[in-house]
Amino acid sequence: MNIHEYQAKELLTRFGIGIPAGYPALTVEEAVEAAKKLPGPLYVVKAQIHAGGRGKGKFQELGPDAKGGVRLADSIEAVESHSREMLGNTLVTIQTGDAGKQVNRLYITDGVDIEKEYYLSMLVDRKTGRIAMVVSTEGGMDIEEVAHSTPEKITTIAIDPAEGFQPHHGRAVAFALKLTGDLNKQAQKLAKQLYEAFSALDCAMIEINPLVETKDGNLLVLDTKMSFDSNALYRHKDVEAMRDETEEDPMEVEASKHDLAYIKLDGNIGCMVNGAGLAMATMDIIKLNGAFPANFLDVGGGANKEKVTAAFKIILSDPAVKGILVNIFGGIMKCDIIAEGIVAAAKEVNLSVPLVVRLEGTNVQKGKDILANSGLPIVPAEDLGDAAKKIVAEVKQAA
């Protein structure tokens, strides 16, 4: 799960990390109120979307000459006019894709006199199975570009979880940033605080870009992105409450509400399967028959009628879907219950594409009877190979 910059900054502040003051705003009025609480005379108005590259981004509606999604303002009036221009408009950055993202929130923060920009992030490195810190003197720019063109300017420091954060890790970070004197000490302290935040909040990633050295000799976090391990969110209700669903794929949000594992893919055959392994096998066999799956969808072992109906609606809300293959092994979940769910859902959504169903397991005959007597044009299949062949043929025929 991702959160906004202003939320990440609020969390990091709890760990004593140095961050310029700032307030979120949903309206122009709130933006002005926020600016009035800050000392001034320099403010920054920042678009809050779940994507980076905002500074260099472009507003779709404002033409190529308009400023991006991070704007300096030298007066309250400038804060007001920038806020008016940004709110409600669509910001396109290298991370949003061409469609961009609508700006519904702003963050009004202190303008900082920057001496130099650095890069510092922390993530779970799957290769080493450790939390790694990634450090670079080249801050403020696209780190992927730095990694590509000047990889020697990036230092990675892995922390053994059994050992935890040690002073030498802090010194390695400060050294990689080429900092001396008091700034060196500040960097060591920041690395430690960041590790504490990362572990305590079960983060997947914290990225600070840029971390800045100010003209008056302080290290401050100017921009940060945080993401969390979803499996640990139950331990952090306050973090979970920061979720902004308007920033996520609507179909995946809907799926997660029903506890369905759904991932949108590029093909045109919708799949509804129970169990991740069976779902993978179903996708494979669709491909083997020359077509492509439109999604991965695991309804889980204990799915009920409501879950099946929800899954069906999600699959059908994807306009790319030209046919549906249901492949269910009724173990804990009985085939007749599944069949009832399929029939109810198909009736409710006014099924307009071919549907092939393969059921196996407990009460399979009862299930097949329910499908056959439903009056719906459901194509029954005997086994997985048969099911895949049938749905591919049905979709080809309909095209």
**What is the binding site for ligand ADP (CB under 6 A)?**
20, 44, 46, 52-55, 70, 109-112, 114, 117, 140, 209-210, 222-223
Residue-wise DSSP of 197-221: HHHHTTEEEEEEEEEEEETTS-EEE
Complex with Mg ion: residue 43 or 165, whichever CB lies closer: 43
Complex with ligand ADP: residue 208 or 326, whichever CB lies closer: 208
111 binds, among Mg ion, ligand ADP, none (CB under 5 to 8 A by kind): ligand ADP
Known catalytic residue at 6: no
Q: Is 85 in the site for Mg ion (CB under 5 A)?
A: no
Residue pair 71/79 in contact (Cβ under 8 Å)? The answer is: no
DSSP-based helix, strand, coil % in the chain, nearest 5:
40, 25, 35
Contact region with Mg ion (CB under 5 A), list: 74-82, 155-163, 217-225, 386-394? 217-225
Cα dihedral sign, 308-309-314-319: positive
112 binds, among Mg ion, ligand ADP, none (CB under 5 to 8 A by kind): ligand ADP
What minimum distance in Å lies between the beta carbon of 71 and ligand ADP? 9
**Alpha helical stretches, state H, the chain:** 5-13, 28-37, 76-86, 143-149, 167-176, 181-200, 237-240, 250-257, 276-288, 305-316, 335-348, 364-372, 384-398
Site for Mg ion in 229-248 (CB under 5 A): none
Complex with Mg ion: residue 24 or 68, whichever CB lies closer: 68
Complex with ligand ADP: residue 4 or 54, whichever CB lies closer: 54
Known catalytic residue at 382: no
Rounded Cα gap, residues 87 and 103, in angstroms: 5
Residue whose C-alpha is closest to residue 270's, from 324, 308, 318: 324
Rounded Cα gap, residues 263 and 90, in angstroms: 25
Complex with ligand ADP: residue 117 or 369, whichever CB lies closer: 117
Q: Is 109 in the site for Mg ion (CB under 5 A)?
A: no
What minimum distance in Å lies between the beta carbon of 3 and Mg ion? 15
- Choose, from 6, 43, 118, 119, the residue flagged as catalytic: 119
Binding site for Mg ion (CB under 5 A): 209, 223
Give the residue numbers annotated as catalytic, written as ranges. Answer: 119, 207
